[in-house]
Chain A
Amino acid sequence: MTKAEYLAELEKRLGDLSAEERAELLADYEAHFEHGRASGRSDEEIAERLGPPQLVAREIQYQLSVDEAHANPTVRRIARAVFAGVGLGLMNVLMLLIPFAIGMLLLAGLFVLAAYLTVSPVLMLVQDGWSVEFLLKLPLAAGLLGLGLIFWVAAVKGITLFVKWMLAILQSNVEKVKEKLK
């Protein structure tokens, strides 16, 4: 394949590109042939080493579609990105749902425990009725109340951590889909 043939074939296959972009790329390949010739190579050999123009054009087109999705994320392009990540589909659901379910259960448990401990002195009163004995149990009641308050704080902290954790998982999923798209 001569230089002219190679460049013509490449140009034909780069129809999707803007005129400017196509010209720029073709100039690169033209210069490549010129440099090759200057170092004593035949067109045939240079073309052979470049690889078939079909392959080179495909490489360029592919690069372009990824660039587009990054630069200007429309629904169609994102859909393409998502479909590129479809192989990860099931994984994604499990990776999101399982931590979510576990986190929610733990937090719910913590809140129930905190609520129970906090109101336990009142429950003791209701159960046993008011008597001098209750005064003796006062330190225990205060302890339970304190413990309950600590659990409240822990549960609220837990929510913050949980949200951060979920965001991190979501982010890593997005990265994976991006990687797939590349």
Chain B
Amino acid sequence: MNVQFKKGVLELCVLSLIARRDRYGYELVEEISKSIEIAEGTIYPLLRRLTKEGFCTTYLAESMEGPPRKYYRLTPEGHEVQQRLLREWEQFVQGVQNVVKGE
């Protein structure tokens, strides 16, 4: 698949997961890897960028098992971006459907 395209989709996936509830990095990676084949290491630069752009904030929380978790929380701006990307994605899928089914 086109790398740029996959990147955009990955951003939508990450934002959508955080939109439902706060997540920590490892959890996000696990969740996405279940459904999409990715180099898991590329999620962290993405998370860093999303944080830098102000789409999410981070906080540390101790956990019973394993090391402290760095949680990501979506900002209102992040919610807007998630909604926009979702619309773009749905339009794209619809467009492909139209072409493939010859409508």
Which residues of A line the B interface, CB within 8 A?
24-25, 28-29, 31-32, 34-36, 38-39, 49-53, 55-56, 59-60, 63, 67, 182
Whether, in the assembled complex, B102 has its beta carbon less than 8 Å from a beta carbon of chain A, the answer is no
* Contact in complex: B42, A56 (CB < 8 Å): yes
* Residues on B with beta carbons closer than 8 Å to the beta carbon of A29: 41, 44
A24-B48, A49-B33, A63-B49 provided; 9 other pairs, C-beta below 8 A? A28-B25, A28-B44, A31-B67, A31-B70, A32-B29, A32-B44, A38-B65, A38-B67, A50-B39
Of chain B, the residue at the smallest CB distance from A182 is B4
* Contact in complex: A34, B44 (CB < 8 Å): no
Cα A52 to Cα B26 in complex, Å, equals 17
Scoring B residues 18 to 50 as 1 if CB is less than 8 Å from chain A, else 0, what string do you get? 000000011001000100000111101101110
For residue A62, give the distance in angstroms from its CB to the closest CB of chain B: 8
User: SS class of chain B's interface: helix, strand, loop or mixed?
Assistant: helix
User: SS class of chain A's interface: helix, strand, loop or mixed?
Assistant: helix
* Contact in complex: A34, B41 (CB < 8 Å): no
> What is the interface residue range for chain B against chain A?
20 to 34
* Contact in complex: A35, B49 (CB < 8 Å): no
- A-B complex: 8 closest residue pairs judged by Cβ atoms: A51-B39, A38-B66, A35-B26, A50-B41, A56-B41, A34-B67, A51-B41, A28-B44
Given A49-B33, A63-B45, A63-B49, A28-B40 contact (CB < 8 Å)? no
* Residues on A with beta carbons closer than 8 Å to the beta carbon of B40: 32, 49-51
Can you offer 7 A-B residue contacts whose CB atoms are under 8 A?
Answer: A32-B29, A32-B40, A49-B33, A51-B40, A59-B45, A60-B45, A63-B49
Of chain A, the residue at the smallest CB distance from B52 is A67
Scoring B residues 61 to 89 as 1 if CB is less than 8 Å from chain A, else 0, what string do you get? 00001111110000000000000000000
* Residues on B with beta carbons closer than 8 Å to the beta carbon of A182: 4
Task: Out of A38, A39, A55, A67, name the residue touching B41 (CB < 8 Å).
Answer: A55
Given A25-B48, A32-B44, A55-B39 contact (CB < 8 Å)? yes
Given A31-B67, A31-B70, A59-B4 contact (CB < 8 Å)? no
* Contact in complex: B66, A35 (CB < 8 Å): yes
